[in-house]
Amino acid sequence: MVKINGEEKEIAGKNLLEFLKETGFEPERVVVERNLMIIPKDKLGNVTIQDEDVIEVLRFVGGG
């Protein structure tokens, strides 16, 4: 089981970049943290999601 933004999902074995695109995230507009480590954008396609990973996908929101 993998935890994505606090929700448990059965997605171990998927490519992180493909997962982001499939779920509507724009990889160029988010920051991805995996097990407390930030994944550089150019490495997202090289990461395979593993069982027990904890992933946070953060979007920047403007305001004022």
pLDDT tens readout for residues 20-57: 999 999 999 999 999 999 999 999 999 999 999 999 99
Any idea what the Cα angle at residue 54 is, between residues 44 and 23, rounded to 5°?
A: 55
Single pTM value for the model: 0.89
CA dist., res. 24 & res. 26, Å (int): 6
Decide if pLDDT at 60 tops 90.
Answer: no
Residue 3: pLDDT above 90?
yes
Name the β-bridge partners of 15.
Answer: 48
Task: Check residues 63 and 9 and name the one with the higher pLDDT.
Answer: 9
Least confidently predicted of 9-13, 22-26, 58-62: 58-62
Residue 34 vs residues 39, 53, 55, 56, 62: alpha-carbon distances, Å: 7, 7, 4, 7, 24
The first and second tokens of residue 2, run together, are: 């993998």
